[in-house]
Structure 1
Amino acid sequence: MAKIVILGSAAAVNDATHDYTHFLLIGDDGHPILVDAGSNPLGKLKYLGIDDDAMQDVILTHFHPDHVGGVPNMLMHMWLIGRQTSMRVHGLHHCINRIEDTMEAYNWQDWPNFFPITFHRLRERDEVVILDNDDFYMVAYPVKHFVPTIGLRITNKRNGRVLGYSCDTEPCEAVYKIADGVDMLIHEAAGAPPGHSTATQAAQIAQESGSKSLYLIHYPVWNVDPAPLVDEAAQRYDGPITLCKDFDIYEF
Structure 2
Amino acid sequence: MASPNDGLRPVARPRLYEQVAEQIATWVADNGLGAGDRLPPERDLATRLGVSRATVSQALVALEVVGAVTVRHGDGAILTGGSGVRRITEAIREHAQRLPDVIDARDALETKIAALAAQRRTDADADAIDAALDGMEADIDAGGRGVSGDEQFHAAVTAAAHSTLLARMMAEISELVLETRIESLGQPGRPRDSLAAHRRIAAAIRAGDADEAARAMHDHVEQVSDVAILREPPA
* Superposition TM-score tier, normalisation by shorter sequence: under 0.3
Q: Whose strand fraction is larger, Structure 1's or Structure 2's?
A: 1
Structure 1 length normalisation: TM-score? Answer: 0.23
Q: Whose helix fraction is larger, Structure 1's or Structure 2's?
A: 2
Q: Radius of gyration: which is bigger?
A: 2
Structure 2 length normalisation: TM-score? Answer: 0.24
